């Protein structure tokens, strides 16, 4: 099916688009790319990144901010690192490492420098010519498949896997340039190539003649052992993909599906466009902005309104968030909050229609609800599982949330009194950002600037690589030779990854390349993401194709006299992205389609979320850190404050996520027309928020859902995934690593179940294999409650 099923872009990209009030990250992609889901026309858009798997900084940062605002307060007195020489002196710790390996560093360097590397030298003309060639090849391939009357494993299935595996990199390569090439013409050609490939892909993916061949084969061999399980899964997924596209329906129904999808795509695009192009603002006097730092006020445009000097505050995050966070006057915050929620009112009707279209689409395709349609492809499998999951969390989180709310109410009362303001019993939605921040400032005083001095970029990254090396028994070998055509820009560094350094056979096995493109430059992608450029697979001759991946980030470039210092959340982000990187490199599947990060979307963040725990573990933080002047590890008082700050209002923060997740589920689990007609978005949104977060709406109905890009396209019936994968990540961390985060035996066990299998097996099965039992939310709750 053309490039369909393996093209995926985790819409985590858009995690941030909705956090209008509290988050500081902007939407990661222009949202015309976000109007997507899995089927036909639109399928291609979700898949428009083709096989480039992108995971964005938003997740890392927000995970750090929202999910990990809790954690282990109890400090281990016992240093876990005494088994390594030179604890506290990071350089020794790292540099002694090669002693463990039989081969010296130089040997590996020599080997690495002779390994083949892809080249990045295509001209715009070549990019377009190659895209056209790939398209012609694709059509020819499927023409051949369609003509087969008696399909067998040998004449249909094996050739299909081989074809798809071989296409993986050529397609990714063409579409990757648009994010990183220093040459605008190359970037533009890359975007155009992607559009051409998308269009062609839509056509191939709607071919009933092709579907029939695969389906015939599936009906013949389903349930037999005609081929190995992974290849069987390939066929099953292929057939499923076409069916989900409506290809097994009679022609009139197919046409209807197509029409619904076209309309839905149109509306999704419109929703995103409206959000993006929103350009309203509020006007405040200096007095009304009391409390907002002068450096922020400086960035507001001034205007004279009715003879009064006012400041224009737009709804863009760098403007509106500081107002909600710092403005002392409640009336200012209230106005800012409500107007920000209501900034795109025209999207309300659009969302309503999208929900209706999805309902009808699901029914046409034979599903009870749209959620059932979405979830059958996810780890959660069905809506009951998701609803049960959320109900369980709600029950567990509510007491904590209520407790936190009482504390915040008292805190607010004190503050009002101290400022000579009238007392209030309520705690409003427009209060939370302000009082939460005040609490952090007054009681926690985390000095992020100071902490960043302990995380100079180069040193920290090499320390992080050291962690991954120890934990997974691998070695990153930097190869910076003069062959400039092996990188797309001179700033890019490349590392060969070897495994089995100390344990296992064969020793020093080459596992693939990872590229680091860390600094901003003109025209480059401006967030942090992992791009799985090539996935590993088994070649027809039995040897393996090795994968390679790129980490593309936006860290300030170090200057001669000033290193680039990473904030703690950036440290977490990089660790997170590197987690995706090793998932891409240490996986070992038969086919690209199931390799590494090609797992169900509600699981994809789990491995990286799990690894983020290392950046919150006191001992590990000490080893990671190294003051840029003195080389000292992170000072104890800073460390304490940082880790304690994780616990502030985590119940409320998680309940807020529950609000989003449940709202999403309510809209997509509608099973009959009557309920569909009755759905009242305003009511649902506002009532659910009060019910879940306990925070008062003050009797005001707002329309925050009208900017909720996730559910408009990309994360529909999927928002729960953020909580879901976090629960598994915490379970794994607590079960295997919390007591001893650098236990290599556990690291290897993790590497050889979760990372190795990618999506080739049922995720739940490999999780059970790793945990030795069913996963559960106990660790997650312990973590949140700080009971560990």
Ligand X SMILES: *[C@@H]1O[C@H](CO)[C@@H](O)[C@H](O)[C@H]1NC(C)=O
Contact 711, 354 (CB under 8 A): no
Q: Among residues 527, 580, 591, 689, which is the contact residue for ligand X, using CB under 6 A? A: 527
Q: Which does 583 bind (CB under 5 to 8 A by kind): Zn ion, ligand X, none?
A: none
**Closer Cβ to ligand X, 269 or 554, answer by number:** 554
Q: Does 285 bind ligand X (CB under 6 A)?
A: no
3-class SS of residue 144: helix
Shorter beta-carbon distance to ligand X: residue 230 or 716: 230
Residue 223 contact among Zn ion, ligand X, none, beta carbon within 5 to 8 Å by kind: ligand X
Among 43-51, 421-429, 520-528, 641-649, the segment contacting ligand X (CB under 6 A): 520-528
Number of Cα atoms under 13 Å in the Cβ half of residue 404: 24
Identify which of residues 117 and 232 has a Cβ nearer to ligand X in the complex: 232
Structure token digits, residue 8: 């995926």
Residues 6+ apart with CB under 8 A from 787: 781
**Minimum distance from residue 573 beta carbon to Zn ion (Å):** 9
Nearest of 663, 671, 10 to residue 370 by alpha carbon: 671
- CB-count exposure of residue 636 (10 Å: 0-12, 13-18, 19+): exposed
Please list, residue by residue across 369-402, b when 16 or more beta carbons sit within 10 angstroms of its beta carbon and e when fewer do. bbbbbbbebbbbbebeebbebbeebbebbbebbe
- 613 token code pair: 């725990």
577 is catalytic: yes
User: What residues numbered 603-642 form the site for Zn ion, per CB under 5 A?
Assistant: 605, 608
Give the whole-angstrom CA distance, residue 453 versus residue 469: 24
Gap between the Cα atoms of 714 and 11, Å rounded: 6
Which entry of ligand X, Zn ion, none binds 556, CB below 5 to 8 A by partner kind?
A: ligand X
Distances in whole angstroms, Cα of residue 553 to Cα of each of 29, 308, 443, 452, 457: 14, 44, 33, 17, 12
Q: Which stretch binds ligand X (CB under 6 A): 337-345, 519-527, 655-663, 674-682?
A: 519-527
Query: Which of ligand X, Zn ion, none is residue 183 near (CB under 5 to 8 Å by kind)?
Result: none
- Residue owning tokens 């942090």: 528
Burial class (CB in 10 A: 0-12, 13-18, 19+), 431: buried
For residue 362, the tally of other CB atoms under 10 A from its CB is: 22
Gap between the Cα atoms of 574 and 579, Å rounded? 8
Find the shortest distance in angstroms from Cβ 57 to Zn ion.
Answer: 8
User: Is 245 within 8 Å of 364 (Cβ atoms)?
Assistant: no
Site string for Zn ion, 740-779 (x = CB under 5 A): ----------------------------------------
Distance CA 125, CA 213 (A): 36
Instruction: Give min distance, CB of 16 to Zn ion, in A.
Output: 12
196: three-class secondary structure by DSSP: helix
Closer to ligand X at the Cβ: 80 or 527?
Answer: 527
Looking at the Cβ atoms of 608 and 760, the one nearer to Zn ion is: 608
The two tokens of residue 457 are 């970029």
Shortest Å distance, C-beta 726 to Zn ion: 12
Is residue 55 near Zn ion by the rule CB under 5 A? Answer: yes
Angle, helix 681-693 to helix 650-668, in steps of 10 degrees: 150
Nearest residue to 506 (alpha-carbon basis) of 468, 451, 544, 559: 544
- Which residue lies nearer to Zn ion by CB, 210 or 763? 763
In the complex, the smallest distance separating the C-beta of residue 524 from ligand X, rounded to whole angstroms, is 9
- Annotated catalytic residue, options 538, 577, 612, 620: 577
Q: Which residues pair with 478 in a beta bridge?
A: 495
If you ran DSSP here, which 8-state letter would residue 517 be given? Answer: E
Out of Zn ion, ligand X, none, what residue 24 binds, judged by CB under 5 to 8 A for its kind, is: none
Q: Which is nearer to Zn ion, 213 or 549 (CB)?
A: 549
Structural contact between residues 707 and 18, judged by C-beta atoms closer than 8 angstroms: yes
- What span, in angstroms and rounded, lies between the C-alpha atoms of 93 and 553? 26
For the CB of residue 188, give the shortest distance to ligand X in the complex, in Å. Answer: 21
d(C-alpha 617, C-alpha 80), whole Å = 11
Among 269, 499, 554, 650, interactor with ligand X by CB under 6 A: 554
Q: Is residue 248 a contact point for ligand X (CB under 6 A)? A: no
Q: Which x/- pattern, by CB under 6 A, does the window 556-595 give for ligand X?
A: x---------------------------------------
Q: Site for ligand X (CB under 6 A): which residue of 520, 558, 631, 698? A: 520
Q: 456 or 721: whose CB is closer to ligand X?
A: 456
Q: Which of the choices ligand X, Zn ion, none does residue 32 contact, using the CB cut-off of 5 to 8 A by kind? A: none
The answer for residues whose C-beta is within 8 angstroms of residue 677's C-beta and 6 or more apart is none
Under the binding rule (CB under 5 A), the answer on residue 357 touching Zn ion is no
CB of 243 to ligand X, least distance (A): 9
Part in contact with Zn ion (CB under 5 A); list of ranges 55-63, 357-365, 557-565, 641-649: 55-63
In the range 209-238, which residues lie near ligand X by CB under 6 A?
A: 222-223, 236
The dihedrals phi and psi of 691, each to the nearest 5 degrees, come to -65, -40
Q: From CA 645, how far away is CA 650, in angstroms rounded?
A: 10
Q: Under the criterion CB under 6 A, does residue 24 sit at the interface with ligand X?
A: no
Residues 6+ apart with CB under 8 A from 679: 352, 355, 667, 670
Q: Which does 526 bind (CB under 5 to 8 A by kind): ligand X, Zn ion, none?
A: ligand X
The nearer residue to Zn ion, 369 or 530, going by C-beta atoms, is 530
Burial class (CB in 10 A: 0-12, 13-18, 19+), 186: buried
Site size for ligand X, by CB under 6 A? 9
Smaller CB separation from Zn ion, 530 or 625 = 530
Q: Does 526 bind ligand X (CB under 6 A)?
A: yes
Please list every residue from 547 through 606 that binds Zn ion, using CB under 5 A: 605
Q: Nearest-CB residue to Zn ion?
A: 55
Q: How far is the CB of 465 from ligand X (least distance, A)?
A: 23
Question: What does 756 bind: ligand X, Zn ion, none (CB cut-off 5 to 8 Å by kind)?
Answer: none
Cβ nearer to Zn ion, comparing 275 with 530: 530
> Which of Zn ion, ligand X, none is residue 222 near (CB under 5 to 8 Å by kind)?
ligand X
Which sequence positions are flagged as catalytic? 577
List of residues contacting Zn ion (CB under 5 A): 55, 59, 605, 608
Which residues form the interface with ligand X (CB under 6 A)?
26, 222-223, 236, 520, 526-527, 554, 556
């Amino acid at each position: 099916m053309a490039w369909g099923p393996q093209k995926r872009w985790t819409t985590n990209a858009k995690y941030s688009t909705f956090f209008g009030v509290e988050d500081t990250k902007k939407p990661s992609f222009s949202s015309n790319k976000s109007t997507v889901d899995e089927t036909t026309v639109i399928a291609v858009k979700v898949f428009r990144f083709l096989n480039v798997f992108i995971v964005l900084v938003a997740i890392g940062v927000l995970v750090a901010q929202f999910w990990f605002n809790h954690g282990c307060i109890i400090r281990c007195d016992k240093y876990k690192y005494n088994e390594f020489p030179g604890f506290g002196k990071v350089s020794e710790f790292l540099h002694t490492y090669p002693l463990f390996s039989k081969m010296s560093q130089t040997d590996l360097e020599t080997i690495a420098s002779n390994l083949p590397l892809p080249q990045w030298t295509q001209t715009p003309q070549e990019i377009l010519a190659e895209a056209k060639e790939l398209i012609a090849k694709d059509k020819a391939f499927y023409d051949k498949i369609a003509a087969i009357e008696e399909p067998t494993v040998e004449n249909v299935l094996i050739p299909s896997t081989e074809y798809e595996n071989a296409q993986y990199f050529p397609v990714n390569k063409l579409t990757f340039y648009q994010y990183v090439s220093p040459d605008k013409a190359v970037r533009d050609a890359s975007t155009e190539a992607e559009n051409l490939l998308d269009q062609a892909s839509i056509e191939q993916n709607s071919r009933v003649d092709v579907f029939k061949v695969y389906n015939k084969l599936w009906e013949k061999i389903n349930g037999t052992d005609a081929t190995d399980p992974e290849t069987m899964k390939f066929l099953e997924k292929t057939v499923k993909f076409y069916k989900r596209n409506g290809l097994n329906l009679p022609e009139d129904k197919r046409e209807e599906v197509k029409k619904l999808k076209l309309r839905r795509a149109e509306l999704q695009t419109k929703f995103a466009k409206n959000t993006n192009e929103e350009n309203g603002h509020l006007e405040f006097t200096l007095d009304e902005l009391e409390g907002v730092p002068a450096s922020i006020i400086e960035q507001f445009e001034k205007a004279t309104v009715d003879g009064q000097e006012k400041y224009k505050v737009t709804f863009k995050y760098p403007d509106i968030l500081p107002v909600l966070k710092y403005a002392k006057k409640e009336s200012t915050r209230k106005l800012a909050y409500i107007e920000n929620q209501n900034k795109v009112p025209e999207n309300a009707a659009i969302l309503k229609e999208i929900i209706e279209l999805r309902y009808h689409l699901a029914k046409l395709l034979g599903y009870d609800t749209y959620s059932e349609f979405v979830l059958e492809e996810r780890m959660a499998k069905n809506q009951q599982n998701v609803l049960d999951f959320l109900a369980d969390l709600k029950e567990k989180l509510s007491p904590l949330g209520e407790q936190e709310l009482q504390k915040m109410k008292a805190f607010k009362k004190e503050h009002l009194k101290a400022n000579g303001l009238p007392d209030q019993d309520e705690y409003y939605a427009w209060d939370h950002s302000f009082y939460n921040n005040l609490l952090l400032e007054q009681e926690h005083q985390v000095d992020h600037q100071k902490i960043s001095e302990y995380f100079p970029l180069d040193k920290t990254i090499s320390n992080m690589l050291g962690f991954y090396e120890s934990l997974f028994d691998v070695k990153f070998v930097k190869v910076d030779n003069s062959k400039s055509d092996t990188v797309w820009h001179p700033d890019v560094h490349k590392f060969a990854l070897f495994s089995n350094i100390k344990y296992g056979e064969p020793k020093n096995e080459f596992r693939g390349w990872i590229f680091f493109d860390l600094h901003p430059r003109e025209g480059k992608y401006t967030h942090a993401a992992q791009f799985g450029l090539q996935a590993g697979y088994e070649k027809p001759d039995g040897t393996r194709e090795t994968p390679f991946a790129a980490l593309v980030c936006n860290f300030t470039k170090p200057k001669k006299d000033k290193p680039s210092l990473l904030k703690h959340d950036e440290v977490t982000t990089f660790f997170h992205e590197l987690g995706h990187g090793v998932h891409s490199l240490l996986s070992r599947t038969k086919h690209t389609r199931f390799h590494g990060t090609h797992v169900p979307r509600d699981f994809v963040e789990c491995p990286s979320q799990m690894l983020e725990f290392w950046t919150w573990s006191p001992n590990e933080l000490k080893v990671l850190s190294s003051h840029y002047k003195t080389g000292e590890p992170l000072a104890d008082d800073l460390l304490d404050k940082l880790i304690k700050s994780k616990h502030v209002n985590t119940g409320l923060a998680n309940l807020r996520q529950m609000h989003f997740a449940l709202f999403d589920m309510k809209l997509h689990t509608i099973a009959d027309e009557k309920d569909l007609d009755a759905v009242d978005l305003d009511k649902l949104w506002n009532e659910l928020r009060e019910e879940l977060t306990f925070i008062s709406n003050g009797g005001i109905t707002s329309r925050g859902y009208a900017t909720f890009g996730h559910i408009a396209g990309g994360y529909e019936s999927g928002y729960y995934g953020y909580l879901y994968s976090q629960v598994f990540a915490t379970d794994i961390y607590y079960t295997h690593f919390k007591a001893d985060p650098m236990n290599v035996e556990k690291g290897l066990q993790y590497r050889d179940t979760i990372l190795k299998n990618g999506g080739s097996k049922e995720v739940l099965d490999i999780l059970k294999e790793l945990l030795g039992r069913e996963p559960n939310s106990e660790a997650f709750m312990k973590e949140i409650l700080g009971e560990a």
